[in-house]
Amino acid sequence: MNDAEIIAAIQVGDTEQFGLLYDAYFQRIFAYIFYRTRNRAVAEDLVSTTFFKAVNGIGKFDSRKGTFSAWLYRIARNTLYDHGRRKANVVPIEYAENVSSGDNPDKTVADRRLVEEVRAILADLPSGQREIVSMRAWDGLSYTEIAEILGKSEGSCKMAFHRASIKFRTLLP
C-alpha cells in the first residue's frame, strides 16, 4: 500500500494503519528533529508529539494540497518552533554536527575546526536560508519537499541554497 491508500484507510476509520506511516517516516522525522536539538531525549519527545499531532489531524490531510511527507515535516517543524518558544536554552537549528571520533587526532581537530567554520557561516545566514541549507544538506530533502514544507516556491528555495553555497565556497578553504 502506498501513502495515499494508507491515509484513505485511516480517514475512513482504520486507524491501526497509521503504524505503517509511522514505520515509514519515523527515522526521517527523528533525524530532522535530532539534528536541530542535538538531544536524544528531547528529539524522542518531539517526534512523539509530531506523530501524535499527525494521527489526530490526519482527517484534515488533503493530498491535493501537498504530499503526506511535506505535511508531516511541517508538523515536525511547527513542533520544534513550539518547543523553542517554551525553552530558551534549546540549541539553535544551525548547530547540527556529525563528527566521528576517529583514531587520527589531527583529522579530528581539523574536522572540528571545519565544523566551527561551517557553524559561523551558517550563523551569518538569514534564518530562512539557514533552514533551507539544513533541510537540503542534513535532511536530504528535495527542493520540491522543502518548498512544500516552507510554503515557498521551488525556485526560491533553489536560489536561497545557491546563494548560501556561494558563500560557503567563498569563505571555506
Domain boundary among 39, 70, 93: 93
Is 78 in the same domain as 136?
no
This model's pTM is above 0.75: no
Chain centroid to Cα 89, Å, comes to: 19
The DSSP-derived string for 103-128 is: S-HHHHHHHHHHHHHHHHHHHHS-HH
Alpha-carbon distance values, 99 to 50, 93, 116, 171 (Å): 27, 17, 11, 20
Is 66 in the same domain as 112?
no
Q: How many CA atoms lie within 13 A of 82 on its CB side?
A: 13
Sign for the CA dihedral angle at 25, 28, 29, 30 comes to positive
Count of domains in the chain? 2
Domain residue limits at 130: 102-173
In this structure, what C-alpha cell is assigned to residue 142? Answer: 528535495
Is 74 in the same domain as 106?
no
Is 77 in the same domain as 8?
yes
Is 6 in the same domain as 89?
yes
Instruction: Output the tens digit of pLDDT for each of the chain's 173 residues.
Output: 899 999 999 999 898 999 999 999 999 999 999 988 889 999 999 999 999 999 999 999 998 888 999 999 999 999 999 998 876 443 444 444 444 445 565 666 677 777 778 778 888 888 888 889 888 888 888 999 999 999 999 999 999 998 888 888 888 76
Is 77 in the same domain as 108?
no
Is 32 in the same domain as 13?
yes
Is 51 in the same domain as 110?
no
Is 133 in the same domain as 85?
no
Is 80 in the same domain as 137?
no
The C-alpha atoms of residue 22 and residue 28 are separated, in whole angstroms, by 10
